[in-house]
C-alpha cells in the first residue's frame, strides 16, 4: 500500500510541476502575442494614415484635372 501511495505522490508532484510549466509557457505566449498585436496595431494605424494621405492627394489631383478640363472647355471654340 505504501508503494502505491508513493507512486501516487510522485505522479501528483509530476503533474503539478507540468501544470506549473504549462502556466509559465502560457504566460510567455500571451506576452509574445500581446507584443506582436501592439506592433501590428501600430503598423495598421500607420498604413491607414498613409492610405488616407494617398486618397487626399489623389482627390486633389482629380480636382486639379477637372479644373484644367473646365478651363480648356471654356476656351475651346465650339
State the Cα angle at 75 between 72 and 78, rounded to 5°. Answer: 105
**pLDDT exceeds cutoff 80 at 2:** yes
The predicted structure's pLDDT at residue 75:
84
The rounded Cα 78 to chain-centroid distance in angstroms is 57
Q: Report the percent of the chain where pLDDT is more than 70.
A: 97
What tens digit of pLDDT does each residue of 56-76 get?
Answer: 999 999 999 999 999 999 887
Grid cell locating 8: 501516487
Tens digit of pLDDT for each residue in 6-35?
999 999 999 999 999 999 999 999 999 999
Q: At 78, is the pLDDT very low, low, confident or very high (cuts 50, 70, 90)?
A: low
Amino acid at each position: 500500500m505504501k508503494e502505491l501511495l508513493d507512486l501516487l505522490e510522485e505522479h501528483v508532484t509530476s503533474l503539478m510541476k507540468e501544470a506549473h510549466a504549462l502556466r509559465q509557457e502560457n504566460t510567455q505566449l500571451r506576452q509574445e502575442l500581446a507584443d506582436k498585436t501592439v506592433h501590428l496595431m501600430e503598423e495598421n494605424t500607420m498604413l491607414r494614415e498613409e492610405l488616407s494621405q494617398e486618397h487626399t492627394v489623389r482627390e486633389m489631383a482629380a480636382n486639379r484635372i477637372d479644373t484644367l478640363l473646365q478651363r480648356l472647355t471654356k476656351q475651346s471654340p465650339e
